[in-house]
Amino acid sequence: MDEKTFTQEEVNKIVSKRLSEERAKLEKELAAKELNFNARAMLKEKGLNPDLADVLKYEDEETLKKNIDLLGAGEPAHKSGLQYNPNSGSGNVKPKDSIREAFGLPSGRNYSEEVGAH
């Protein structure tokens, strides 16, 4: 069996390459965490939910600022009262039957059930 042996210089190159790759990976992760921290701070400063940092797309500080500014631009409309206001009714109220009312018939009786009962 032929075993490959390495010179000290080759071992040093291999180790240096791996250390360099690991360092680059860690630096990239640190930069992403710092950018996320900055995003949360900027969102909070603008009065927006900091959790939006998790759904915003940004790869650098410039893109981050641009996207947060876009979000902030929509905020005045939200604060001015332009919002979803569903009907306050429960949805269980039967509509007013104007025909029954016009003929003076009592409302609330279900005649189709009475007809089926006879």
pLDDT, tens digit (0-9, with 9 covering 90-100), for 60-80: 999 999 999 888 876 555 555
6, part of any domain? no
Place of tokens 């992760």: 29
What letter represents residue 76's amino acid?
A: P
Are the C-beta atoms of 23 and 15 separated by less than 8 Å? no
Residue 113 inside a domain? The answer is no
Is the predicted pLDDT of residue 19 greater than 60, yes or no?
yes
Question: Does residue 99 sit within a domain?
Answer: no
User: Domain count of the chain?
Assistant: 1
pLDDT tens for 91-116 read 565 667 777 777 777 766 555 555 55
Domain that holds residue 67: 11-81
C-beta atoms surrounding 53 within 10 Å: 21
Residue 37 lies in a domain: yes
Whether 30 maps to a domain, the answer reads yes
The answer to whether residue 20 is domain-embedded is: yes
pTM value? 0.52
